[in-house]
Structure 1
Amino acid sequence: MQEKKSNLSEMEEFEKYGVYEVKKIDSEDGNILRIFQVRNTIEERLHGELDKPAKLDLCYILWYSYNNFDDIKTVEVLSYYNDSGNMKIYYIYEIETRAIEISELSNASEADVMAYMEYYYRKIIKLGDLKVMDDNIPYWKEADNGYNSSD
């Protein structure tokens, strides 16, 4: 009963960030924690980048995963967005837990993750592998980066 209660509280924490499923996959190369998230909105963002709320969610999900799951070598986050009832992949991110340690995100408090998200986000993006599915995201969600193709 105690184990179920702790799992429920873990999912309640994750649900705050749109996570609907967490799978621990045993692998010869080490255990993988695969996290599935759904976002109902995407704010303006640059091509190949996440919007600001998604960056915060990703930092928190990685921090929580590292600090609450044992024997994990890799964390994968698959984020979908709800496009009028059609689920489309927004991004896939993969990082080894050793890289989370190197980024110092593992040592942060929950408040630090929230306050210094941009600082941690830049580090984890360099240490992991982010694939943003730009072709799945409506063009009007893309922010103007100041580049004009006629220049």
Structure 2
Amino acid sequence: MRRLILSAVFFALLALPRIASAQSGPYSYYPLSPCRVVDTRNANGTNGGPAFGTDATRNFQIRGFCGVPTTAKAVSLNVTVTQASQASWLAVWPSGTARPVVSMINFEPTDPALANGIIVGLSSATQDLSVYNNFGSVHVIIDVTGYFQ
């Protein structure tokens, strides 16, 4: 098990220069008081409902909400899932780019709510980020905790 973990860390470290070179920078981090930018439990709307279904992707605008300026290049988020109908996973990434091959949160229907903190770049497209749910239905809540520019 230790060998598997060390291998995963090794390959993740190898990927960092490639990931870092894709973004120009350096950027400064600006913390924000946590602020809800997406909640699919709310009425249907741009950053509200409905819940995600199977194989569903939705795009969300983050810049201009909760103190995130239009010049932000990336955001620090807390992503929460709740009321899942079956085991699944979410991916979050900049809109207009290829969906990543890794999940950012895995969950079961027995989880009352499960959260994970992430940092994600923002797209240069109209919508800032995309969220994908693999199986079943689930509500997604996204709180912004800071931004980079």
TM-score by length of 1: 0.30
Instruction: Work out which structure has the larger RCO, using CA pairs closer than 8 Å and 6 or more positions apart in sequence.
Output: 2
Q: TM-score, normalised by structure 2?
A: 0.31
